[in-house]
Amino acid sequence: AYSDLYSKFKAYEQQLEQKKGTYQEKLPEIEKSITLVQHLKTKKDNDEKVVTRYNLADTIYSKAEVDCSQGIVNLWLGANVMLEYTYDEALELLKGKQEVAKKDYKDVTEDLTFTRNQIITSEVNISRIYNWDVRQKREAQRASS
């Protein structure tokens, strides 16, 4: 029973590790997006244009001049979906996603700590049962000799 429990905890630990890795990749991307939208908003307020380089292919880049005066940015939402937002709407959306991602990351980290503690407890219990069984066999061997 403890071996089955141990196996389940190890599988759950792997799932949590994958989720944690996903959040570790996701959070910096959200923060970059927030910084970029704030930069665009600042440039719009100052009536400036932004000159940037963007990736056309793996090794090919091109220059582009971004017109910030319209106050519109397109965000990838996932599943090949891109929507147009105003800067304020985009910031609101991104900050909301950031809060949720930070909370979920914290929850996953706490769950991972709990799961690791349970794995250690299971390992200790398995070794205690094994040692008890070894002692019982030795006593039975002594009694029969």
Note the pLDDT tens digit of each residue in 11-62.
999 999 999 999 999 999 999 999 999 999 998 888 888 888 988 888 899 9
> Which is nearest to 24 in space by CA: 137, 78, 98, 105?
105
Tell me the CA distances in angstroms from 77 to 42, 50, 84, 85, 106, one per residue in order: 23, 24, 10, 11, 23
Number of separate helices (H) and strands (E) present in the chain:
2, 4
Write out pLDDT tens, residues 85-100: 999 999 999 999 999 9
Write out pLDDT tens, residues 123-135: 999 999 999 999 9
Report residue 68's pLDDT band, with 50, 70 and 90 as the boundaries.
Answer: confident
What integer pLDDT is reported at residue 116 of this predicted model?
95
> Which is nearest to 115 in space by CA: 21, 22, 5?
5
Long-range (24+ apart) CB contacts under 8 A made by 132-135 are none
What integer pLDDT is reported at residue 109 of this predicted model?
96
CA distance 104 to 26: 11
Mean pLDDT over 68-82 rounds to 88
